[in-house]
């Protein structure tokens, strides 16, 4: 991207994001054939742009009535993941009680190691009482060398809806950040990791 030396390249263009989000909305609308409202739970901060675009695309697709919820999960902080991680504690804020007995689509920016999604899915089912939790991830990162623990966790987290598969690189834009930067980019870019280590 022009003028930003900390970004290596554009991985997914704004046009590709828009088209794929519309396809995801059509799939979600098709799958939710219930008169009950669909509960979308977005993970803050990274998924808010994705959720906003997905919500508008759901309406254009003739989708169901939707109720929106936001949960904040803390696993990364300002530090970056380590290659040899085996587990992470996930702290949640804002777990919605209105999802009890309902189908939930958990909207996340990226499926990386899986600690965040696994923790939120478990809390939505066990603590909030959701009937079912479907996973919708914008990016599904293919990890090069996950620990055995992470590999097992990832096998248990098969998303129902995936925007794009991406390589095991740092990415930012369209809500995703690196050290709280780049969320406002209209595309997904590959980040030069050495600039942030």
C-alpha to C-alpha distance for 50 and 146, rounded to whole angstroms: 26
Kindly state the DSSP code that residue 5 receives in the 8-state scheme. T
* 109, 112, 140, 177: the active-site residue: 112
177 assigned to active site: no
* Angle CA 104–139–156, to nearest 5: 60
* Max CA pair span of the chain: 50
Number of Cα atoms under 13 Å in the Cβ half of residue 182: 22
Contact 130, 124 (CB under 8 A): yes
Residue numbers annotated as active site = 112
């Amino acid at each position: 991207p022009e003028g930003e030396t900390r970004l290596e390249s554009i991985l997914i263009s704004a046009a590709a994001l828009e088209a794929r989000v519309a396809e995801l909305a059509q799939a979600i609308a098709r799958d939710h054939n219930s008169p009950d409202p669909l509960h979308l739970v977005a993970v803050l901060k990274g998924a808010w742009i994705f959720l906003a675009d997905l919500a508008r695309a759901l309406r254009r697709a003739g989708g169901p009535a939707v109720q929106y919820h936001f949960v904040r999960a803390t696993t990364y902080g300002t530090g970056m993941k380590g290659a040899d991680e085996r587990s992470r504690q996930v702290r949640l804020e804002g777990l919605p009680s209105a999802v009890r007995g309902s189908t939930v689509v958990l909207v996340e920016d990226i499926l990386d190691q899986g600690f965040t999604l696994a923790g939120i899915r478990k809390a939505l089912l066990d603590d909030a009482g959701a009937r079912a939790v479907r996973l919708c991830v914008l990016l599904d990162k293919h990890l090069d060398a996950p620990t055995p623990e992470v590999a097992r966790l990832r096998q248990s987290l098969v998303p129902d809806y995936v925007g794009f598969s991406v390589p095991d690189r740092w990415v930012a834009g369209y809500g995703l950040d690196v050290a709280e930067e780049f969320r406002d980019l209209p595309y997904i870019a590959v980040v030069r990791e050495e600039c942030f280590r």
